[in-house]
Structure 1
Amino acid sequence: MQNIAQPQKVAYQIITHFDQSYRWFTRITRGAQARFEQGKWKETLSASRERITIYEKSLADAVADLYQEVPVHQLSDDFWQQMKKYYARLLEDHPQFELAETFYNSVIGRLFKHRHIDNQIMFVLPSRCYLPGQDRLKVIYSFDTRTSVREMYEAIFRVYRFNIPFDNYQRDLLNLERALRKRLNRAQLASVTAVELLKSVFYRGKSAYLIGRICMPDETLPFVVSLQTSAKQALVVDALLTDRKDLSVIFGFARSYFMADTQYPAEVAAFLQELLPNKKHFELYMALGHYKHGKTVFYRNFLQHLEHSDDMFEAAPGVRGLVMMVFHLPSYGVVFKIIKDEFAESKKITRQHVKDCYRLVKMTDRVGRMADTHEYMNFRFPLNRIAPELLAELQETCGSSVEITDQELIIRHLYIERKMTPLNLYLEQQTDPQKIRHALYELGSCIKQIALANIFPGDMLHKNFGITRHGRVIFYDYDEICLMSERNFRALPKSDDPYFMDTLSVAPNDVFPEQFEHFIVGKKALKEQLKVLHPELMTPAFWHEVQRITAQGEIPDFTPYNPAMRFPRDEAI
């Protein structure tokens, strides 16, 4: 007979591992302020990578301990159901209850290899309904707006303190006051009831953000103060952002996760959702660095969407990939990517190489130019929603990753990525010359910024890039990426012999930038525009300079908002 206390003991064991994991996560996150103040940008990148690895390490420890405690595969369903009930009780007053649910799900998923997605033993549904606002006072500061605009800013900087001086405090106050008065007219300023700011400072790259909102009777506006450091390692206010579009870009899916210390992530995510109603809740958790819980929230959202839709899954629009099979649900905003069983002859890579490339992007500063991807095992789709043509193509190209039951299509391994319009389709359909020019400018900028982040994109055909609703070009095909140091950028030798290319000695890692113009975009008119907008891309000198920068560990500043929003720094007060 099973010891009735045993499920309770194991539940406690799992929550203990979660708590240890979150303390580790928090310790790294809290270090962001010192790294920002001291300009330790290399350490910032290292800390970001380390924090991503915490979850898997903590999960492995929890599973190993559980195997030591109980004979996992000899236990009855009743044991697991009882354990979930005990675990749910431990979550009743837990400040990170939702993250702890996901950790529990991961443990169960690892034990059963994700074969049993069952709400009786897992938290497929949340353990309780969280009402946004119940912990609001624990995560925000509210500032009195009955004073002058300048006095309000002074009050803000009395609360948010840094261990470095301002480069020019009076100049920054004046810049902030001017920016707010430019955004709001007198009547709007007079109607402001409060300025609310999240207590957590949001750190990423070389910037820190105070994020909140301006509350007025008839509307609410984002209120974001962007901070950076000067060459003298002094604090500088770089911009004031009050447009939702700017805030949306800052929280974009192609950017690295923030370092934002909070013990109440559910309340922070709820507050951000009010600021960014067009963002999915799972995207906000991911932006906070809780990407595993973001996957849980995504799955719940996905199930809910299936219940309220009836369209069919089908192959995604665009040119078929040589490595990945990509499909989507037209009414839903993501694509599903599966590694094919066999690659085209031109692809001299392995399945493991593809996984390693996607992992490399996960661990890299994506600088707003590389889409975040999320890996799932044994993901389930209702079979009656799969278009017959898609099912046949999946069986033909990805048979080893596909399992079909009476009611489900199970994909053993897949990636999920935010849906975008493929750039090649956009350029084919677009007739506005200005929008075409902008897209080509964005394409070249995307390639350059990825390279400065120490990633050579490899296959730079424009079909491997997408364009967002904000007109931003994002790279999303990673099977040929590598570090900048792994390629040898060469100039084409000059010769009058029309056949000299046939006899040119080329090593596997040799790249000839002068040839880029022939395959990045197809049509001659587009090639010419790209060459005018980004001529340096087609020169070995540009790539050699990027290699020099990345080899020395220089970290460029990738400001996520329009440079025109930045305040002047040379005005004397």
Structure 2
Amino acid sequence: MKPAEHQPAQKIAFRIIQHFDKSYRWFSRITRGAQERFEKGQWQETVRASKERITVYEQSLSEAVADIYHDLTVHQKNDVFWRTMKQAYFSLLEGHPQFELAETFYNSVIGRIFKHRKIDNSVMFLLPSRCYLPGRDREKVINSFDPTTTVAQMYEAIFHVYRFNIPFEDKARDINNLDVALRKRLSKAQLASVTAVEMLKPVFYRSKAAYVIGRICMPDETLPFVIALQTSTRQALFVDALLTDRKDLSIIFGFARSYFMADTLYPAEVAAFLQELLPHKKHFELYMALGHFKHGKTVFYRNFLHHQEHSTDLFEAAPGTRGLVMMVFHLPSYGVVFKIIKDEFAESKKITRDHVKSCYKLVKMSDRVGRMADTHEYVNFRFPLARIAPELLQELHDTCASSVKIVGDELIISHLYIERKMTPLNLYLDQETDPKKVRSAIDELGTCIKQIALANIFPGDMLHKNFGITRLGRVIFYDYDEICLMKDRNFRELPKSDDPYAMDTLSVAPDDVFPEQFEHFIVGKKHLKELLKSLHGDLMTASYWRELQTIAGSGAVPNFTPYDASARLPREEV
């Protein structure tokens, strides 16, 4: 390209980085407001802010692409132009504190322009432009506290740094509770051996809670160190729990929870620190937990490509009962499932393809309260054809022909969702022989349904095959094609009559639901039905569902603590 022709490419590259920076400022402004919303108990505003922040990326992307089309006749530019533009953009990322997010934004712009048909590292950042070395900006994201003081003095120092514009309910009580909790967790020898106490500078806000997250470092081990904070009905601050177990931290950062509000200029360093605390979490999951779900998708795709290069197994249909709306497949050695909307639905499904998409979007915009799996939407996703099992390829052609095509040695799926892999609950219950684990799973199932309803979502199809169970025994809902808001259903009692034909003459509207019938289809086997009824019999009553409907309709924001109730510190509200 001639030197004079470099200018348009450089100009557009600069315009894109400007749009990204504007987008990140918008994202950060919403995130920073989390502290004030938490302090004032503005829970409805918290819900609205969470939804608004999810829309920031798409709105910013649309503005950037419109700007480019205004200044550029896109279809007249050849590959040399796009490669030059990428190089110009790369030069703008030098020293940029969010360079990895800016790469993803650039990819989105190119993807939108070419409708995701040009997946090429010469014009996109399929691979990261540089290798990020964790620790480079560590001092910018952590506060360090003196481990040689007393435990109580350390807590005083922490709360001197992490301040809130509301008073403690009882600060002395909370520090004493924290002191006792840490001494129960660590022996005197362990306490004496602590070499460092490091806490992330940003406070992590979600729903009605705030978390100060860090770690305690000792010569032979490092423990998570998380102070969970809430506010009382009188808007006073109190410490609800001290969490030092990786299992608790893993649940807090679970894939079925809403994204945190944690304000930082250095997301790569924060994600790297969290990765050290949670080595079993994928890096893309941590970015998603921070609200950077678009970049999480980028990191996932890179991780997925790397896994493909280092594995040989074939993609095949996922275990479990075949769905009536979605075709689901997986790579056995990888921890996600791929879900495609079928071309035709069973007669019993009175819904459309657009309806299914709207349901998945509703879940994305809702508080998933730890009970609904996060899903990530992709277009023109490419798979190596040689890795597709013949039986899967045939099933895809039979059920999803409009969404799949073969180009060269690749299978391209025009639209799909990716979701964390879980064991389908029906398979788990068929295989599990431990009565305690079965009881726990059924109890989890009932609790899951109730918590989803309190989050203002009616699950619709509650067959247990539509739920999964995690390695920690938590039951998660993952089939969204029949969900709706609670207000959109009319919960009714079945008529009580000695007339055997009463049901035949019952007038039923499309939105009517009869909870007394739930026991016949949520779980199939008699002993499981009886167990569910004994643990959650209220689910089978219309009055209970109307009560949940009233709570959801009131605008009340539920507060489901993600850790076990036994971790909560003793407290009497004053």
Could you tell me whether the CA contact under 8 Å between 1:195 and 1:215 is conserved in 2?
Answer: yes
1:486 aligns with 2:488: yes
How far off is 1:392 after superposition? 0.4
Residue 236 of structure 1 aligns to a residue whose secondary structure is strand
Q: Does the 8 Å CA contact 1:257/1:286 hold for their aligned counterparts?
A: yes
Query: Which AA in structure 1 matches 2:144?
Result: S
Question: TM-score scaled to structure 2, two decimals?
Answer: 0.99
Deviations for 1:413-452, whole angstroms, at most 9, x for unmatched residues?
Answer: 0000000000000000000000000000000000000000
Whole-Å separation in 1 of the counterparts to 2:285 and 2:558: 25
Moved over 3 A (4+): none
Letter aligned with residue 530 of structure 2 = E
Deviations 1:437-491 (A, max 9, x none): 0000000000000000000000000000000000000000000000000000000
Q: Which residue of 1 aligns with 2:508?
A: 506
Aligned amino acid, residue 54 of structure 1: V
Aligned residues: 572
- Conserved 8 A contact 1:224-1:240: yes
Query: Which residue pairs with 1:161 in the alignment?
Result: 163
Q: What is the DSSP-based 3-state SS (H/G/I as helix, E as strand, rest coil) of the residue aligned with 2:210?
A: strand
Whole-Å Cα distance in 2 between the matches of residues 192 and 78 of structure 1? 56
The aligned counterpart of 1:435 is: 437
Aligned with 2:239 (options 237, 240, 244): 237
User: 1:73 and 1:132 mapped to 2: Cα distance?
Assistant: 40
Name the counterpart of 2:189: 187
1:299 corresponds in structure 2 to 301
Q: Which amino acid aligns with 2:108?
A: S
- Partner SS, residue 162 of structure 1: coil
**Partner SS state of residue 147, structure 2:** coil
**Matched AA of 1:162:** F
- Aligned residue runs from structure 1 range 347-386, under 5 A: 347-386=349-388
The equivalent of 2:557 in structure 1 is 555
Match of 2:532 in 1: 530
- Find the aligned partners of 2:71 and 2:220 in 1 and give their Cα distance: 58
Q: How far apart in 2 are the matches of 1:147 and 1:213? A: 16
Deviations for 1:542-565, whole angstroms, at most 9, x for unmatched residues? 111111111111112110000110
2:201 alignment partner in structure 1: 199
Letter in 2 for 1:289: G
**Structure 1 residue 495 displacement after superposition:** 1.5
2:327 is matched with which residue? 325
Q: Which consecutive unaligned segments of at least 5 residues does structure 2 have?
A: none
What is the correspondence of 1:39-54 to structure 2 with a 5 Å cutoff?
39-54=41-56
Per the alignment, residue 117 of structure 2 pairs with: 115
In structure 2, the CA distance between the partners of 1:571 and 1:40, relative to structure 1 (3 Å rule), is closer
- Matched position secondary structure for 1:367: coil
1:419 pairs with one of 418, 421, 425:
421
When normalised by structure 1's length, the TM-score is 0.99
Q: Quick one: which amino acid aligns to residue 471 of structure 1?
A: G
- Distance in 1 between the 2:507 and 2:411 partners? 48
SS in structure 2 opposite 1:5? Answer: helix
Assess if the C-alpha contact under 8 Å between 2:232 and 2:573 holds in 1.
no
Deviations 1:133-187 (A, max 9, x none): 0000000001001000000000000000000000000000000000000000011
The letter of the residue matching 1:261 is D
Q: What is aligned with 1:226?
A: 228
Question: In structure 2, what is the Cα distance between the partners aligned to 1:232 and 1:414?
Answer: 46
Residue in structure 1 matched with residue 136 of structure 2 by the alignment? 134
Match of 1:336 in 2: 338
Are 1:541 and 2:549 matched, yes or no?
no
SS in 1 for 2:539: helix
Other-structure match for 1:38: 40
- State the secondary structure of the residue aligned to 2:412: strand
Secondary structure in 2 matching 1:4? helix
- Helix, strand or coil at the partner of 1:508: coil
Please report how far the alpha carbon of residue 406 of structure 1 lies from its aligned counterpart in structure 2 after TM superposition: 2.2
Distance 2:246 2:448 in 1: 23
User: Could you tell me which amino acid in structure 2 is paired with residue 446 of structure 1?
Assistant: C
Q: State the secondary structure of the residue aligned to 2:527.
A: helix
- Paired amino acid for 2:310: H
Q: Which residue of 1 aligns with 2:73?
A: 71
- Secondary structure of the residue aligned to 1:412 is strand
Cα distance in 2 for residues equivalent to 1:547 and 1:180: 41
Please say which of residues 201-210 and 554-563 is displaced more in the overlay: 554-563
In 2: Cα distance, 1:440 partner to 1:550 partner = 24
Cα distance, 1:498 vs structure 2: 2.5
Tell me the distance in 2 between the aligned counterparts of 1:107 and 1:4: 19
CA distance in 2, matches of 1:127, 1:556: 42
Deviation at 1:3, TM superposition (A): 2.4
Task: Indicate if the aligned counterparts of 1:421 and 1:466 stay in contact, CA closer than 8 A.
Answer: yes
Looking at structure 2, the residues matched to 76 and 396 of structure 1 have their Cα atoms a distance apart, in angstroms, of 38
- Mapped to 2, the partners of 1:556 and 1:266 lie a distance apart of 31
Q: 2:230 touches 2:239 (CA, 8 Å); kept in 1?
A: yes
State the one-letter code of the partner of 2:521.
Answer: F
- State how far apart, in whole Å, the 2-side matches of 1:348 and 1:72 are: 42
Q: How does 1:384-399 map to 2 (within 5 A)?
A: 384-399=386-401
- Unpaired runs of 5+ in structure 1? none
Task: Give, in angstroms, the shift of residue 232 of structure 1.
Answer: 1.0
Quote the Cα distance in structure 1 between the aligned partners of 2:216 and 2:44: 35
The offset of 1:499, in angstroms, is 2.9
- Give a deviation string over 1:346-405, Cα, whole Å, max 9, x none: 000000000000000000000000000000000000000000000000011000000112
Match of 1:212 in 2: 214
Q: Match of 1:145, as an amino acid?
A: P
CA contact (8 A) 1:171 1:571 kept: no
Residue from 100, 104, 129 that aligns with 1:98: 100
What's the CA shift for 1:86? 0.7
Q: Could you tell me how far 1:321 is from its partner in structure 2?
A: 0.2
Corresponding residue number in structure 2 for 1:279: 281
- The CA deviation string for residues 220-256 of structure 1, in whole angstroms up to 9 with x for no partner, is 0000000000111000000000000000000000000
* Displacement after TM superposition at 1:101 (Å): 0.2
Structure 1 residue aligned with 2:458, among 435, 456, 459? Answer: 456
Match for 2:11: what amino acid? K
Alpha-carbon separation, structure 2, partners of 1:169 and 1:88 = 50
Tell me the amino acid that sits aligned with residue 383 of structure 2: F
Partner SS, residue 214 of structure 1: strand
Shift of 1:570: 1.9
2:267 matched to which residue of 1? 265
Alpha-carbon offset, residue 571 of structure 1: 8.7
Secondary structure in 1 matching 2:476: strand
Q: Distance in 2 between matches of 1:301 and 1:124?
A: 11
Q: CA–CA distance in 2 between the matches of 1:249 and 1:377?
A: 30
SS at match of 1:327: strand
What letter matches 2:413 in structure 1?
I
Match of 1:474? 476
Whether 1:247 aligns to 2:253 is no
Residue aligned with 2:228, SS:
strand
1: distance between equivalents of 2:41 and 2:499? 53
